[in-house]
């Protein structure tokens, strides 16, 4: 593992990520309230909002809310089904672009990552942030916000002030001016339970927490957590950015069809083309394929992935296309197909 203690830590957060991925496929919905979750049916019981567009958030819709509640709050919203396959592909693309910039990248999920940037005379952290936004938008059509600081926790807080699609710098110079009068749960890592316990001590703002008695905090929360809370309130946090050397484990291509496929010949043709496109990426990277996976999503949004190991690692196009078709044979293709994907898993270097 590569560990870096950079001069600057940049937190990159993709704006309304899942909704934005959907809007790339449904540009006619841009500017309208869009809610992603479940199978896209707001009457579906026990299903919750995965992501809401900024327009839907204006109606009080938020992630984790039951879809039925969201429909009542925003009756004019368009509901779309969650599509993890597409989100995986979009996230992988963005994280690859970030790594290609040459800085240590620590990924924190689908839609966020930290970059460690060393101090350089000719390139400042804001320059890097602008480059990140330009590259991501030009290559994927997705926008992101970037928080800049000297540690992860403060950079994460800074991103909140940058949204949407902005850049915000939060350092010792402006920390208290920005944060002093904000509630303690404005600090990343301070949740409702901790805020309630702090309130019982008469501590409700960041300024009050920053000037609170260390012994009081350690006696209430324990030595480790108590001192950590005090550090957070003063603007401190983790300064290291760690990253595994990036070696892709697979290459994939996915397509959602403008009309559902019903003929097996169409499905075979699509899978063959997807396999060859993925293999082009593999060959370009001078890698070797060991396993072939196929993903099928039907018109009812039933999604499954099946995978099989090759007899021997190869980059032979005919062998890999044939293997993908054999994996496709494992599915019961008795319903119209909305999406197909092929993933080629690769032999890892020593």
The residues that are catalytic are: 112
| β pairing state of 289-298 and 303-314 | antiparallel
Kind and range of the H or E run holding 5: none
Residues 162 and 147: beta-carbon distance below 8 Å: yes
The residue among 75, 96, 199 whose CA lies nearest residue 139 is 96
d(CA 347, CA 92): 18
Residues 192 and 211: beta-carbon distance below 8 Å: no
Q: Tell me how crowded residue 249 is: count the other CB atoms within 10 A of its CB.
A: 11
Contacts of 28 (CB under 8 A, 6+ apart): none
Structure-block tokens of residue 98: 């970030």
d(CA 29, CA 34): 7
| Exposed / middle / buried, residue 305 (Cβ in 10 Å: 0-12, 13-18, 19+) | middle
């Amino acid at each position: 593992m590569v560990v870096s203690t950079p001069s600057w830590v940049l937190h990159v957060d993709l704006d309304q990520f899942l909704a934005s991925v959907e809007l790339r496929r449904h540009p006619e919905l841009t500017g309208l309230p869009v809610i992603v979750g479940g199978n896209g049916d707001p009457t579906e019981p026990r299903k919750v909002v995965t992501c809401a567009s900024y327009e839907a958030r204006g109606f009080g819709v938020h992630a984790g809310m039951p879809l039925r509640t969201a429909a009542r709050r925003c009756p004019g919203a368009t509901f779309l089904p969650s599509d993890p396959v597409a989100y995986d592909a979009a996230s992988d693309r963005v994280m690859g672009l970030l790594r290609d910039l040459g800085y240590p990248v620590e990924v924190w999920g689908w839609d966020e990552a930290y970059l460690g940037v060393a101090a350089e005379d000719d390139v400042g952290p804001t320059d890097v942030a602008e480059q990140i936004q330009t590259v991501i938008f030009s290559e994927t059509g997705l926008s992101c916000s970037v928080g800049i600081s000297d540690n992860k926790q403060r950079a994460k807080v800074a991103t909140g002030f940058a949204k949407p699609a902005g850049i915000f710098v939060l350092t010792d110079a402006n920390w208290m001016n920005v944060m002093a009068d904000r509630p303690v749960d404005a600090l990343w890592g301070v949740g409702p339970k901790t805020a309630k316990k702090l309130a019982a001590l008469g501590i409700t703002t960041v300024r009050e927490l920053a000037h609170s008695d260390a012994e009081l905090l350690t006696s209430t929360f324990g030595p480790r957590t108590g001192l950590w809370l005090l550090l957070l309130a003063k603007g401190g946090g983790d300064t290291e950015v760690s990253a595994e050397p990036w070696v892709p484990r697979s290459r994939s291509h996915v397509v959602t069809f403008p009309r559902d496929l019903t003929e097996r010949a169409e499905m075979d043709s699509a899978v063959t083309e997807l396999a060859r496109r993925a293999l082009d990426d593999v060959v370009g990277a001078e890698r070797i394929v060991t396993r072939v996976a196929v993903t099928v999503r039907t018109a009812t949004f039933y999604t499954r992935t099946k995978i099989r190991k090759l007899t021997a690692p190869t980059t032979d196009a005919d062998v890999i296309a044939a293997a993908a078709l054999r994996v496709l044979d494992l599915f019961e293709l008795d319903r119209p197909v909305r999406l197909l994907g092929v993933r080629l898993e690769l032999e890892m270097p020593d």
